[in-house]
Amino acid sequence: MRESVLVIGANGQIGSELVEELRRIYGNSNVIATDIKPATSEMLHNGPFEQVDVLDFAKVSNLIRKNKVRQVYLLAALLSATAEEKIKSAWRLNMEGLLGLLDLAKEEKFKLFWPSSIAVFGPTTPKQKTPQHTVTEPSTVYGISKLAGEMWCEYYFKKFGVDVRSIRYPGLIGWKTEPGGGTTDYAVHIFHEALKTKHYECFLSENTVLPMMYMHDALKATTGLMDADAEQVKIRTSYNVGAISFSPKELAAEIKKHIPGFSISYKPDIRQQYAESWPQSIDDSVARTDWNWKPEFDLAKMTEDMLHHIQQAVEH
């Protein structure tokens, strides 16, 4: 049977790269990209695209039925920094979007992917090698919505048998699309500024260590979890996945190896508080055991790849 896949929030940092990867796996015409914003020309050129608000459930449901969709990736969300500025709309988008899709998954029996985040952890969580099961007392609106979402996922799995799968993404770093509204965004902006102006003013302080992951690994984790047999997926809240941990100072030092004139200065803002409430490194042994998760990119490899691709994109 033709495996149709729907990606909601396809224009975002994860979506734009995930759509490309899923189209490589399932074929261009079988992956329907959707976003509240109009499509980029690349997105339109390579396969089907629909402009849809995720909260328009009638339209989403119609798309799913009409195309016999078997997998949905729900990526539309407001991230940590924006969510603090728009508390109610963040809750509405992050929660109602998920609940609406969980209901549709219950009816239409598709497999649902929903991203959680290291933001489910808070100041009382152990910071080093944060375990899968530990204290989760988030202090941000975004973290609260992700924690509640995780519990809803588990509830729909246990009560209605919905095959929903989730990952607690760390900060994600990719060269294709810049992130927006997050706390870990500095780790992407720094590369663009390093190549453009050889200087970056960082909104986190120099020794703020956070868990991060290169987009290649994030896509590997996402498709790996979605491909796993249902019995392998034992956690139905959300899986810890780890890759790299570093501070702005360590990242700057790595960039300097490629761009010797690069300099960084620090002007921490409100995002410093959010970052300080999150773990510094993640214990992902449960994901490694359950569905063989393993990252491929370390700091040096990721830095080299980022600079190479951004440079190439600028030249073309």
Residues that bind ligand AKB (CB under 6 A): 79-80, 117-119, 142, 169, 171, 182-184
Pairing between β-strand 164-169 and β-strand 239-240 as defined by DSSP bridges:
parallel
Q: Least separation, in Å, of the C-beta of 266 and ligand AKB?
A: 18
Sign of CA dihedral 269, 307, 174, 309: positive
Angle at 93 between CA 110 and CA 209, to 5 degrees: 95
60 versus 172: smaller Cβ distance to ligand AKB: 172
Round the CA-based radius of gyration of the chain to a whole number and report it: 19
Which one of the listed residues 26, 73, 142, 169 is annotated catalytic?
142
Least Å from the CB of residue 208 to ligand AKB: 12
Residue closer to ligand AKB, measured from CB, 184 or 208: 184
* Nearest by Cα to 184 from 73, 293, 277: 277
Question: Among 188, 159, 157, which residue's Cα sits nearest to residue 172?
Answer: 188
Please state, as a whole number, how many other Cβ atoms lie within 10 Å of the Cβ of residue 172: 24
Q: How many residues are present in the chain?
A: 316
Rounding to the nearest 10 degrees, give the CA dihedral for residues 241, 134, 13, 192: -80
Minimum CB distance to ligand AKB smaller for 10 or for 118: 118
Output 47 or 171, the one with its CB closest to ligand AKB.
171
In the complex, the smallest distance separating the C-beta of residue 242 from ligand AKB, rounded to whole angstroms, is 13
Query: What amino acid is encoded at 309 in this protein?
Result: H
**Least Å distance between CB 310 and ligand AKB?**
19
Whether 142 is catalytic is yes
Q: Which residue is nearest to ligand AKB (CB)?
A: 182
Where in the sequence numbering do the catalytic residues fall? 142
